[in-house]
Chain A
Amino acid sequence: MSLTPTPEEISPKHHLEELETVTIRFAGDSGDGMQVTGSQFTTTSAIVGNDISTLPDFPAEIRAPAGSLPGVSGYQLNFSSRDIRTPGDEPNVLVAMNPAALKTNLPDLEQGGILVVNTDAFVEGNLKKAGYETNPLEGGTLSGYRVFRIPITTLTLRALESVKIPHKQQERCKNFFALGLMYWLYDRPLETTLKWIGEKFAKTPDVAVANTLAVKAGYNYADTTEIFTTHYRVGKAKIKPGKYRNITGNEATAIGFVVAAELAGRPLFYGSYPITPASDILHELSKHKNFGVKTFQAEDEIAAIGSAIGASFTGHIGLTGTSGPGVALKSEFIGLAVMTELPLVIVDVQRGGPSTGLPTKTEQADLLQAMFGRNSESPVAIVAPATPADCFNMAVEAVRLATKYMSPVMYLSDGYLANGSEPWALPKVEDLPEFKVHFRTEPEGFLPYLRDERTLARPWALPGTPGLEHRIGGLEKEHLTGNVSYDPDNHELMVRLRAEKIQRMSQDIAPLEVFGEPQGKVLVLGWGSTYGSITSAVEHLREKGESVSSAHLRHLNPFPKNLGEILSAFETVIIPELNLGQLAMIVRAKYLIDAVSFSKVKGKPFKVMELVRKISEYL
């Protein structure tokens, strides 16, 4: 029997209304548990059959002063009965647990939107910390919204009177009360969360009981009081049959590399130094030692990549991961991997910059760093996932290209993909690509820089193999022998061969697909995490009959072979990027087209409507 009776059974007094799409944002102090609340709502929504997309937004400080503006942590999720690709432009609902959360998030709430506030937190001290002269809950400043003033802390404490845990800990359960409220408001079952609480707090049964009571109390409060007159149902989305799980980009990245190493038939070695927002990849990979995964937390970014190159020389799948500042430190070693022509994948989970910049905010401004950020002619391949779940596919792709072409590959994720989540249609093991790696073992005719005719890859010859003893290093290599060479003609030959090898990968990557007609007025060309916003914007305009298509690059070096042909079939090419026009610069240079760059650098993703407006200017 279900733990939660359907609302109709117990409360005919409430009106149930059908909605297509809802965007909720939970916001509170970074100690208020907003990330847990948001991710629980997400999992439940996925299981009841909605399509979902999420965006956590948290401060760089671990614990900024309680109640302060920098300490606000938020979690936005979009759930829908139709296919969605973004966490939503403007929240329809804002849950504000304190004045600072209200202050920082209210400007985003849609006009007429639902605002749930924890009135208990609106006390003088908190109001002052948030910079409010007067209490915004009083007076008419919130008249444009449907405001629900609920003493969430008081109600939570009352519900937990019987539980023997300290007062402070009881107070901490208030996020679950808020979650219960929202479950009622959007007609969600409690089971998934109750099961999760049971497992998560198995070792502290009192806390498990407290949180369980808090969720139920929130749900029942909404149900039995007259405070909400209407609640809402968001129907099931038409989702392709299959098996799903909700996944963040960083999880998908980590799992993708574990699987890629299995497909290559070699152990994964991950050298990394903690850095936001890439650290979760290290955490995740360190859990998978039973796959033979070796994780090495190095003394710095440089040692992290150096160890990965050493492991790669020794026949492991060498991987290092970081964010932009870390890539800057790793640059010299990336050059060594280019010179020694060893397979290596460098994960860059991009964040706002330059320098330390905005560690927890997203940006796509490392493309030119990935392309050119090394001394001399130092080409590497570049791939970029388009969505959180796509991180899995591109991790596998990065390892495939790195091992087949004996080359470093940059993998450009970003903070938005890393922490955002979406349902992932689980691939079948038998559908994954096969690319078992082969090592050179035959001494006869062995030359360290003798290349494969098709890929230009040199042989991978591991220490421990009798008869293949050889030396590699950063000094220029003589063609074929790999001996140190200062010969001018040899140097030019090798520079050209290294460049050509990267370009040869284009024979081995999928052609670019166009969403919409293959020709027309406007093509919107994107890369990386802007996929969701761009595709939604283009779909919106196409439904209105506009002549607009989009294409999304997941290979940035080399480009898919058919890119030039696609670009030339449109009157205008618009390139939206979360930078000042980096892809646009490369495309203009390479294809000599007058592409329009559309930039945003606010540490936040594009809103769909921002893109719709910009694209409309060219239609």
Chain B
Amino acid sequence: MSEEIKSEAENGNGNGAVKLTRQDFITDQEVRWCPGCGDYSILAQVQKVMPELGIPKEKIVFVSGIGCSSRFPYYMNTYGFHGIHGRAPALATGIKAANPDLSVWVITGDGDALSIGGNHFIHAIRRNLDLKIILFNNRIYGLTKGQYSPTSELGKKNKSAPMGVIDYPINPLSLAFASEATFVARSIDTDPKHLTAIVERVARHKGSAFVEVFQNCNIFNDAVFKPFSDRTVRDDKMLYLEHGKPLLFGKDKTKGIRLNGQAPEIVTVGENGITIDDIIVHDETAPEPNMAYILGRMQYPDFPVPIGVFRVADKPTYEEMMAGQIAQAIHDKGRGSVSALLNAGETWIVDEDGEQKPALN
């Protein structure tokens, strides 16, 4: 590896010159998700992206909590840590802070990240550790067999809510924006091309990169995303965000989103005097996340469901600042010496005759 390439690879975000294939990232462990589960698609796309990054696989760590998605690290032939429920961000924080050279991925689910692990999710994102967080959102608890999750729709009937859910759901993107995320995206298991592109952008971002992936649980919550993601309707029901491009959708891209005051509304270009100039141009790098927040809250059936990159910001990472303070302390005080540490403060010496005198440090 040349020095130049090496230095780029060393922040853990890739571009090194290591030549690997998808096969290198597959373990000998039998994949145990239910046949037809959306997790297979996500695993396949991640395994496909990994060789593209040029990061040696020993420098990659997958960390997870508990839930169906959290089995993911067992299937990645990298380093892996299958943690406890909700706490993957805490483990990942220690891993990344201890060795910023690693590419650290957090695999989590809607229950893991937003319910039991909500606190860690917020704080890992706000600290802007360089973590790649993939949230598999299937709006249900799968591993415990079908209870509602914090993203389940109001009124939905399931094992633990036979008369319907009476909790209002949380919007993962809203929470990420509120936590000052520097990278927020969304994708879906049924669009491998889009998912691959997003995973690669997640990998390249420096700082906490968060992506919500709509993932179908075909056993306990089948087809929950189908009303807008099915091939036959998705042109009209989904909005693909592209930086610098107007927010257009529909088969012939004539429908668009404009702002009416603070509220988004659907308009048709060429009707009622609406021109392309009325349509919002997507700016993922906007300094404030206000517009991204508005987009993140557009939901089916009132709006097309946006997917893509909502927000990208460039801020120093936690581990950079931590390393910076250590370097500063060493620069200012010199590398710590055990002898100096022991002998610090007010010391005194007792000599062989029992006489005591203050020691000169």
Q: Which residues of A contact B (CB under 8 A)?
A: 43, 46-49, 192, 236, 238-247, 255, 258-259, 262, 267, 269, 271, 288-294, 296, 298-300, 302-316, 318, 332-333, 335-336, 340, 426-427, 429, 432, 462-475, 483-484
Q: Is the CB of B350 within 8 A of A306?
A: no
CA distance A49 to B350 in the complex (A): 8
Contact with A along B260-280 (1 / 0, CB 8 A): 000000000000000000000
Closest B residue, CB atoms, query A271: B94
Main secondary structure, interface of B, reads mixed
Q: Given the interface contacts A242-B350, A294-B98, does A471 sit within 8 Å of B83 by beta carbon?
A: no
Which of chain A's residues have a CB closer than 8 A to the CB of B122?
299
Q: Is the CB of B346 within 8 A of A241?
A: no
Closest B residue, CB atoms, query A255: B341
Q: Is the CB of B83 within 8 A of A473?
A: yes
Which of chain B's residues have a CB closer than 8 A to the CB of A269?
94, 97-98
Q: Is the CB of A310 within 8 A of B98?
A: yes
One of A271, A289, A333, A471 near B329 (C-beta < 8 A): A289
Chain B nearest Cβ from A218, distance in angstroms: 21
Main secondary structure, interface of A, reads mixed
One of B101, B325, B347 near A426 (C-beta < 8 A): B347
Q: Given the interface contacts A239-B350, A240-B350, A299-B123, does A311 sit within 8 Å of B359 by beta carbon?
A: no
Chain B nearest Cβ from A403, distance in angstroms: 15
Q: Is the CB of A307 within 8 A of B56?
A: no
Chain A nearest Cβ from B261, distance in angstroms: 37
Which of chain A's residues have a CB closer than 8 A to the CB of B325?
289
Q: Is the CB of B82 within 8 A of A429?
A: no
One of A48, A49, A245, A465 near B58 (C-beta < 8 A): A465
Contact segment of B73-81, B144-152, B184-192, B215-223: B73-81
Q: Is the CB of A429 within 8 A of B339?
A: yes
Contacts A245-B346, A306-B87 known; 13 new A-B pairs at CB < 8 A: A49-B356, A241-B350, A243-B359, A245-B345, A255-B342, A258-B336, A298-B123, A303-B87, A307-B97, A309-B94, A314-B95, A463-B79, A474-B66
Q: Is the CB of A313 within 8 A of B95?
A: yes
Q: Is the CB of B79 within 8 A of A311?
A: no
> Would you list the 4 A-B pairs with minimal beta carbon distance, nearest first?
A310-B94, A473-B82, A306-B90, A291-B336
Which of chain B's residues have a CB closer than 8 A to the CB of A468?
58
Task: Answer whether residue B59 sits at the interface, using C-beta atoms and an 8 A cutoff.
Answer: yes
Which of chain A's residues have a CB closer than 8 A to the CB of B94?
269, 271, 296, 306-314, 316, 318
Closest B residue, CB atoms, query A461: B79
Q: Is the CB of B333 within 8 A of A290?
A: yes
Q: Is the CB of A464 within 8 A of B99?
A: yes
Can you sample 30 A-B contacts with CB below 8 Å?
A47-B348, A242-B349, A243-B349, A246-B345, A247-B345, A258-B336, A290-B334, A291-B336, A294-B322, A296-B97, A299-B122, A299-B123, A302-B120, A303-B90, A303-B119, A306-B83, A307-B94, A311-B98, A313-B81, A462-B99, A464-B58, A464-B59, A468-B58, A469-B57, A469-B58, A469-B77, A470-B79, A473-B81, A474-B83, A475-B82
Task: Answer whether residue B19 sits at the interface, using C-beta atoms and an 8 A cutoff.
Answer: no
Which of chain B's residues have a CB closer than 8 A to the CB of A302?
87, 90, 120
CA distance A483 to B30 in the complex (A): 11
Which of chain A's residues have a CB closer than 8 A to the CB of B90?
298, 302-307, 310
CA distance A302 to B279 in the complex (A): 46
Closest A residue, CB atoms, query B342: A426
Task: Answer whether residue B338 sits at the interface, using C-beta atoms and an 8 A cutoff.
Answer: yes
Task: Answer whether residue B4 sits at the interface, using C-beta atoms and an 8 A cutoff.
Answer: no
Closest B residue, CB atoms, query A243: B349
Chain A nearest Cβ from B138, distance in angstroms: 21
Which of chain B's residues have a CB closer than 8 A to the CB of A306?
83-84, 87, 90-91, 93-94, 120
Task: Answer whether residue B3 sits at the interface, using C-beta atoms and an 8 A cutoff.
Answer: no
Task: Answer whether residue B335 sits at the interface, using C-beta atoms and an 8 A cutoff.
Answer: yes
One of A300, A308, A463 near B59 (C-beta < 8 A): A463
Which of chain A's residues have a CB closer than 8 A to the CB of B58?
463-469
Q: Is the CB of A311 within 8 A of B80?
A: no
Task: Answer whether residue B354 sits at the interface, using C-beta atoms and an 8 A cutoff.
Answer: yes
Q: Is the CB of A259 within 8 A of B342?
A: yes
Task: Answer whether residue B61 sits at the interface, using C-beta atoms and an 8 A cutoff.
Answer: yes
Q: Is the CB of A243 within 8 A of B343?
A: yes
One of B78, B93, B102, B350 near A307 (C-beta < 8 A): B93
CA distance A300 to B56 in the complex (A): 34
CA distance A332 to B96 in the complex (A): 22
Task: Answer whether residue B358 sits at the interface, using C-beta atoms and an 8 A cutoff.
Answer: yes
Chain B nearest Cβ from A188, distance in angstroms: 13
One of B66, B78, B342, B349 near A469 (C-beta < 8 A): B78
Which of chain B's residues have a CB closer than 8 A to the CB of A43?
346
CA distance A310 to B355 in the complex (A): 50
CA distance A269 to B355 in the complex (A): 41
CA distance A466 to B18 in the complex (A): 13
Task: Answer whether residue B92 sits at the interface, using C-beta atoms and an 8 A cutoff.
Answer: yes
